[in-house]
Amino acid sequence: MPEAFVAPGADVAGSARLGDGVKVWHLAQVREDAEIGANSIVGRGAYIGTGVRVGANSKIQNHALVYEPADLAEGVFVGPAVVLTNDTFPRAINPDGTQKSASDWDAVGVTVEEGASIGARAVCVAPVRIGAWSTVAAGAVVTRDVPAHALVAGVPARRIGWVGHSGVPLVEQDRTWVCPTSGTVYVEEGGSLRETG
């Protein structure tokens, strides 16, 4: 497997850990103690915060901002200009007018589970969990947890359907949900989806 590739003009901290086959493109910044899993791609101008973990085979597209302490599982897609926030109540200054420092707030993160996709320019307002194999539509603003396999869109984001492992919206048939690509059948139970075996 090839070693990690860091393009000229990218800024990767010495303490960051890059797996085999990772590609970090021009103007991207990977901060201290971040971990990028094997075969992942960090696009042009993307930002990966201090201590962020990105699982193997993930794609962080151009100009995405992944702030600490985000935790991304394997096979995650983060679209162009997506923002994963880390401050629930942001302010530049304290009530007394002094500038805030790192000790004046507690960072909260976004957790993205295996295979999930977040569309271009979406914003995930921490703390939220993006469930496995779910899809966040482009431009959505996620303010609450997204169930596994959910398709969410809008401001604020709400579930408008279900998606399978291929990312294609599922089709409802006889009180089940079927993937038109693979034929996999799912059952909806209490606001979540379960594969029928």
Domain with residue 146: its CATH number is 2.160.10.10
Q: In this model, does residue 76 exceed pLDDT 90?
A: yes
For residue 103, what pLDDT is reported? 81
The identity of residue 132, as a single letter, is: A
What tokens appear for 185 in the block? 């059948």
- In a domain, residue 147? The reply is yes
For residue 148, what pLDDT is reported? 96
Number of domains in the chain: 1
- In a domain, residue 195? The reply is no
The whole-number average pLDDT for the span 81-93 is 93
The whole-number average pLDDT for the span 131-140 is 98
- In a domain, residue 48? The reply is yes
174 or 11: which carries more pLDDT confidence? 11
- State the pLDDT confidence band at 143, using cuts at 50, 70 and 90: very high
Q: Is 63 a catalytic residue?
A: yes
For the chain, the average pLDDT equals: 95
Please give the helix or strand (H or E) that residue 172 lies within, else none.
strand 171-173
Which candidate in 26, 63, 149, 165 is catalytic? 63
Please give the helix or strand (H or E) that residue 64 lies within, else none.
none
Is the pTM higher than 0.85? Answer: yes
Q: How far apart are CA 187 and CA 178, in angstroms?
A: 9
For residue 106, what pLDDT is reported? 85
Residues spanned by the domain of 156: 5-96+107-165
157 or 189: which carries more pLDDT confidence? 157
- In a domain, residue 156? The reply is yes
- In a domain, residue 187? The reply is no
Q: In this model, does residue 197 exceed pLDDT 90?
A: no
Phi and psi at 77, nearest 5°, equal -110, 125
- State the pLDDT confidence band at 174, using cuts at 50, 70 and 90: confident
For residue 101, what pLDDT is reported? 87
- In a domain, residue 57? The reply is yes
For residue 151, what pLDDT is reported? 98
- State the pLDDT confidence band at 127, using cuts at 50, 70 and 90: very high
For residue 175, what pLDDT is reported? 87
- In a domain, residue 102? The reply is no
- In a domain, residue 197? The reply is no
**Site of tokens 């000790």:** 103
For residue 102, what pLDDT is reported? 80
